[in-house]
Chains A and B, each alone.
Chain A
Amino acid sequence: MKQTLIRQSFLGPNSDAILDALTVSVVGTGGAGSHVLQQLSHVGVGNLLPIDPDKVEFLNLNRLVGATFRDAQKGQKKTTVSKRVANSINPDVRVRPHSKPWHEVMDVLRDADVIVGCLDTYSGRSQLEAFARRYLIPYLDVGMDVHSVGDHYVISGQVALSMPGDVCLQCMGIITPDDVAKEAYGAAGGRPQVVWPNGLLASAAVGMLIELVTPWFRSESLSLLRRYDGNRQTLEPDGWMSSNLRRECKHYTVAEVGDPHPFWISSKKKRVS
């Protein structure tokens, strides 16, 4: 066991090796994603793929872990901040940042063992989940929103694990075709985000990831969905999901995996062009 990870040896006798061999991509490295990346560096995940095309702006500084005033002045890439934070915690972590939309680095993303999605559009989250399903990659979706209810605001969110072969975000009722069509997040100003719900949801996501990959305990079924009530300050497992062990996904099948075309020929053509 690595000396730096000795306090988490209860995760399993070889948990350090398991985590070191793991490749996790965090798509969206802003509010929630920056917390996730920081924690993954702490727990000893060996390979990180932060993906985000955005640069640090002053309006990110209320929540972007590791970003400085100087980063906002310079318009630093968010993924550069991710790499800096990760390597300042653990110089051995192999961070390969990509400052591009994830659609442009899909070959990189296919190498991920787990994808953590911290995107702020329904269509983006839905597309990323579909990608993860096709390539048998567990997808952890972190979502938060602020709604106007009467004369006050309500913070809500969830962390959902979309596991190949199990129910998807649509089955869980987190993203509906209507959401994707309307693309309407809450009414508390453009893309409302604050640091503490992001941190809480990111911590839950990392906990679910650790449960998935290390042998520290085995519950009857994986935690797939935790709902956050930001006004009551509670994060709870979804009751229906926990009690319904005979779940079935109506939207994806495990037979629909891999590339649908002859990849060997198409890749040769690509090289020629």
Chain B
Amino acid sequence: MKLSLKITEALIREVRKDLDRAHPYAAERVGFVIGRCTRSRSGIIIFGSRYERVPDAGYVEDHSVGAMMNQRTITAAMQIAYSEKVPIFHVHTHFGKGKPKFSGIDLRENAKFVRAFINVCPEYPHGALVLSDTDMSGLCWLPGSSKPRRIDQFTVVGSCLRKTL
């Protein structure tokens, strides 16, 4: 079963523009891509439908990590998942070119807050995305599964159509 993510060029541009902004004390920014999904003959397709910024006050001042969300931020994202019944994907960027990889800290933290989204909206997949300036990678927890799956394919739809594996 193939797992794909589709997003418009305009939306991914909005995400990158937000994550690129300097923060008063956090070393990097994070955000949430709100999704939708469907089944196809080959698998599951997740669509990015909008982006939710994390306000400046939504971070913990912790210099041991690039960015640490506070409980209020996580609760706000949980509220979206719960009330709208939508997939939520945490997103941050490592900048640079090529295929980005989640760090060890990313993997540890992803597992914590994605669990929170699953608890309030178990009927949808949730996950995390990491961007570079040219590409992206992602992990997705499918309903009923305790382990994440790698997202196999990304398609950016806009002034051109770009598919990456």
Contact = CB atoms under 8 A, between A and B. Distances in A.
B155 A259 contact: no
Given A164-B157, A254-B8, A263-B38, A113 B85 contact: no
A136 B41 contact: no
A135 B41 contact: no
Given A164-B8, A264-B124, A254 B155 contact: no
Given A114-B161, A213-B160, A218-B160, A165 B39 contact: no
Interface stretch (A103-111, A119-127, A179-187, A235-243): A103-111
Interface stretch (B45-53, B56-64, B94-102, B130-138): B45-53
A interface, over-half SS:
loop
Nearest to B165: A21
A137 B45 CA distance: 12
B38 A111 contact: no
Contact of A136 (B40, B50, B157): B157
B37 A212 contact: no
B53 to A, nearest CB: 16
Contact of A258 (B9, B36, B157, B158): B36
Max count, chain B CB within 10 A of own CB: residue among A22, A165, A212, A264: A264
A149 interface: no
Interface in B67-111: 85
B40 A110 contact: yes
Contacts of A256: 49
Contact of A259 (B10, B11, B36, B159): B36
Contact of A265 (B11, B47, B123): B123
A222 B10 CA distance: 14
B8 A258 contact: no
B35 interface: yes
Max count, chain A CB within 10 A of own CB: residue among B7, B35, B47, B85: B47
Interface string A85-111: 000000000000000000000011011
B143 interface: yes
Contacts of A255: 49-50
Given A254-B10, A254-B11, A135 B45 contact: yes
Contact of B157 (A107, A110, A163): A163
A215 to B, nearest CB: 8
B159 A221 contact: yes
A262 B158 CA distance: 27
A138 B158 CA distance: 9
A163 B46 CA distance: 18
A262 B6 CA distance: 18
B150 interface: no
Contacts of A138: 157, 161
A257 interface: yes
Contacts of A113: 155, 161, 163
A18 B155 CA distance: 12
A11 to B, nearest CB: 13
B161 A264 contact: no
A244 interface: no
Nearest to A112: B40
Nearest to A21: B163
Given A111-B40, A257-B49, 12 more contacts: A108-B41, A110-B38, A113-B155, A113-B161, A136-B7, A136-B47, A165-B10, A213-B161, A258-B49, A259-B37, A263-B39, A264-B143
12 contacts: A107-B39, A111-B40, A111-B41, A113-B155, A135-B6, A136-B7, A136-B8, A138-B157, A138-B161, A165-B10, A222-B160, A263-B37
